[in-house]
Chains A and B, each alone.
Chain A
Amino acid sequence: MKRRGYGMVFLLLLPALLIILAFYVVPAVLTGTMSLTNMDHRLSWNFVGLQNYKQMLQDTILSRVFWNTIVYVFGTLLCFNVTFGLLLALATSYIAERQGERTSMFFRALWLLPRFTPPIVYGVIWLWILDPTRNGLLNGVLDFFGGKPVSWISKYPVQVIVLTNGVIGASFGMILFYSAITSISKEYNWAAAVDGAGWLQRIRYVTLPLIRWPLMFVTAYQTLSLLTSYEYILIITGGGPFYRTTVWSLYAYNEAFGGYYASYRFGYATALTLVLVVISMVASIIYWRVFRFREMMSEPKIEVI
């Protein structure tokens, strides 16, 4: 009886397990192994020990990449994913409270749209907005006021990648903060009103302290997301001009597949990515400890199969 039961469990899990094993677990193990080789496009296993890691220490570009990553991750995080997401959540919750749910919903949907747009289409939109000629939005407007066109991407590459990623990143915080804010009991808001707090004072003394956990969660979670995101940078600046917007994960990608600077240095690239894995893992452990991990692991309450 029991045995047949586990058979069913196994059967339901098997397809998922097989795919995850072949396309997740095996590659993960391979990545670790590859980082000890100097594999290139010929894909031969030539073990070189810790050579790749030593190379990292001497890689002069990598130190630039490191600082780029710091600026990109924390710049985007603080300006957009947390702060701007919070502002959007506060503004849309204000509108939901006073003017009605529909208008608020419209703005939230608007900000969610980029998240669901194919990355390349999102890229097209920004390439147009930032176009260095008068055909682009910004330069078109500048032209209208008699200004000269600016090559936005080559002149302000870091700001561009922070902005373009931030517009997508803000929606995550917005959705989470919005639901946290609107689930605060009405009585707190009324109490604050009776106590004499205006909207801003209510935010400062009541709302923000009460959404402290979502704030911390978004900060922690989005740090990791940003650390490993490079898709939009790849599309919009490609990492340039001259490595100015190359972040760690993009550097690894370009080392492996990039046509611009180097390519097919698989061994070195995997070693680079493993650094990200270590950071992610440590961070994951920390925030799973903090954020209700045990609750998610709780045992099922029915033992029948």
Chain B
Amino acid sequence: MAQLKTERAQLSRFSPERLRVEARKEKSKDRALTVFIYAFLIVASLPIILGYGWLLLNSFSETLAYGVLPKGWTIKNFRFLWELPSRYYPDLWRTTWNTLLLAVGMTVIMILIATPAAYVISRMKFPGRSMMLAMTLILHSFPGVTLLISLYYVLRSLNLLNSIVGVFLVKAGLMLPLGIWIMKGFFDNVSWDVEMSGLVDGASRLQTLYKIVLPQVKPGIAAMAIFSFINGWSEYIYVITFIQKKESWTLSSYVNSIIGDFQFIDYGLLSATALFYILPVLLFFIFTQKYLMTVTVGGTKG
């Protein structure tokens, strides 16, 4: 006790000069840290900034000096919009249409099929429910690559190889369990009390779904829909594997082919087609990225 008190008596006197010096030191340390953190973020992000910047700039310029600086503005890189890059290519607009079909199909599936299923699994009691949840988990450990081969077999048996419908069904099958699982999470978060009070007020279970539960999970469903659209639009591996026929190509096959044919010859054309492909995604991303972040996080539940 006594010792503590004397010690305090010594400590208690501030030396104002010393305090100023120390405070200044702390402040400059703090500033250095801020500068360092910004520097880190900017340098680390350079590949992304430059990469996407290149996609944009290179698409509209004749050449790039030192691989970075655009020279000579032009739109000739976008000639694929009105003429075929070479006579082996299918019509671009047909290809775009196929891509769109796949994207919209995925969105519709998520809204019309996954949402009701997620609701039922999350909020209704029925025999076999826990078995179904367990099944979802087991399925989850069958990664896409595992199923690719047997899916090839299934599609061929159903005569759906080389068709967008085939890829669509395959992707739907693979995405549904995860999608249902994520959306189940959204439904799980709706308070039971709110739904119970709805029931007590005389609504049926179906009415509470429409009037009480759905409005609360709307942002989640919207996010899932956007996510599915982008996912379908961007699909690469199943398209490449299951579709060879040019009439059924999507933009993935198209750009893939451009890489093969023009990589070292015509970077302008390559970046322009890639830009064309990424454009809708970019727009969605810019306007809805807050939503998309919730799916990325929500996705960890599944």
Please give the residue numbers on chain A whose beta carbons come within 8 Å of chain B beta carbons, in ascending order.
6, 8-9, 12-13, 15-17, 19-20, 22-28, 30-31, 34, 43, 84, 87-88, 91-92, 94-95, 98-99, 107-121, 123-129, 131, 133-141, 143-144, 167, 171-172, 175-176, 179, 198-200, 217, 221, 224, 227-228, 230-231, 234-235, 249, 252-253, 256-257, 266, 269-270, 273-274, 276-277, 280-281, 283-284, 288, 296-297, 299-305
- Other-chain contact of B55, A17, A28, A125 (Cβ < 8 Å): A125
Residue of B at shortest CB range from A2?
B126
User: Is the beta-carbon distance between A19 and B169 smaller than 8 angstroms?
Assistant: yes
Which residues does chain A contribute within 8 Å of B140, judged by CB atoms? Answer: 284
Which residues does chain A contribute within 8 Å of B148, judged by CB atoms? Answer: 253, 256-257, 273
Rounded to whole angstroms, the CA-CA distance of A19 and B168 in the bound complex is 11
Rounded to whole angstroms, the CA-CA distance of A88 and B205 in the bound complex is 45
User: Is the beta-carbon distance between B174 and A24 smaller than 8 angstroms?
Assistant: yes
Which residues does chain B contribute within 8 Å of A111, judged by CB atoms? Answer: 45, 48
Rounded to whole angstroms, the CA-CA distance of A42 and B66 in the bound complex is 50
Question: Which stretch, B5-13, B80-88, B116-124, B214-222, touches the partner chain A?
Answer: B116-124
Which residues does chain A contribute within 8 Å of B89, judged by CB atoms? Answer: none
Which residues does chain B contribute within 8 Å of A30, judged by CB atoms? Answer: 150, 153-154
User: Is the beta-carbon distance between A276 and B143 smaller than 8 angstroms?
Assistant: yes
Which residues does chain A contribute within 8 Å of B196, judged by CB atoms? Answer: 301-302
At the interface, is chain B mostly helix, strand, loop or mixed? Answer: helix
Which residues does chain B contribute within 8 Å of A172, judged by CB atoms? Answer: 296, 300
B271 interface contact, C-beta 8 A: yes
User: Is the beta-carbon distance between B149 and A256 smaller than 8 angstroms?
Assistant: yes
- Other-chain contact of B51, A126, A141, A256, A270 (Cβ < 8 Å): A126
User: Is the beta-carbon distance between B66 and A141 smaller than 8 angstroms?
Assistant: yes
- Other-chain contact of B145, A26, A118, A123, A228 (Cβ < 8 Å): A228
B237 interface contact, C-beta 8 A: yes
Which residues does chain A contribute within 8 Å of B38, judged by CB atoms? Answer: 95
User: Is the beta-carbon distance between A31 and B255 smaller than 8 angstroms?
Assistant: no
User: Is the beta-carbon distance between A34 and B51 smaller than 8 angstroms?
Assistant: no
Which residues does chain B contribute within 8 Å of A6, judged by CB atoms? Answer: 126-127
- Other-chain contact of B66, A129, A143, A302 (Cβ < 8 Å): A143
B186-228: which residues lie under 8 A (CB-CB) from chain A? 188, 192, 195-196, 199, 205-206
Interface footprint category on B: 35 or more
Which residues does chain B contribute within 8 Å of A199, judged by CB atoms? Answer: 30, 33
Please give the residue numbers on chain B whose beta carbons come within 8 Å of chain A beta carbons, in ascending order.
29-30, 33-34, 37-38, 40-41, 44-45, 47-52, 54-55, 58, 64-68, 109, 112-114, 116-117, 119-127, 130, 133, 137-154, 156, 169-170, 172-174, 176-177, 180, 184-185, 188, 192, 195-196, 199, 205-206, 230, 233-237, 241, 251-252, 255-256, 259, 263-264, 267, 270-271, 274, 277-278, 281, 284-285, 289, 292-293, 296-297, 300-301
Rounded to whole angstroms, the CA-CA distance of A198 and B190 in the bound complex is 40
- Other-chain contact of A137, B54, B127, B206 (Cβ < 8 Å): B54
User: Is the beta-carbon distance between A137 and B50 smaller than 8 angstroms?
Assistant: yes
- Other-chain contact of B117, A16, A114, A134 (Cβ < 8 Å): A16
